[in-house]
Amino acid sequence: MRVFGGAALRRELALQIDASTIVPDLLDRQAAETRIRGYLPALLSSRRHALKEDISEDHETLHALGTPVLAIWGTDDPVIPQSSLARLTELNPDTHHVEVKWGGHAFPQTHPGDVAKALETFLRKTV
């Protein structure tokens, strides 16, 4: 990761060059981040550990407390697997799920209207 990680990430970003986003120069900004000291080790740590941590008990507690939960998923997200949707439903059957069609991992920036609509609908139902 320390030797080739930055170049590999920048190549991945270059493949997304046609993705529209509301953030000016998003891909350039993300590419620049790969050159910041500490970024690559932090990203590697996140990839190794963040999705492997078992937070089942937390989700079960939210369900037991009746806390409304909204999960917004990108259908084309290469980072968060779609199998997570089924697992979250298993832990908290009351979770409201919204899928953003063709949304990658950066769907909040590439599909802000879908995210805003999901949030508005969810909040109107729960507040």
Question: pLDDT tens, 43-76?
Answer: 888 878 876 778 899 999 999 999 999 999 999 8
Question: pLDDT tens, 14-54?
Answer: 766 666 777 778 778 888 888 889 888 888 888 788 767 78
Residues 6+ away with beta carbon under 8 Å from 56: 91
Let me know the angle formed at the C-alpha of 84 by 110 and 102, rounded to the nearest 5 degrees.
25
Given a cut of 90, is residue 97 above it in pLDDT? yes
Let me know how many helices (H) and strands (E) the chain has, helices first: 7, 2
> Domains in the chain, please, with CATH?
1-53 (no CATH), 54-127 (3.40.50.11320)
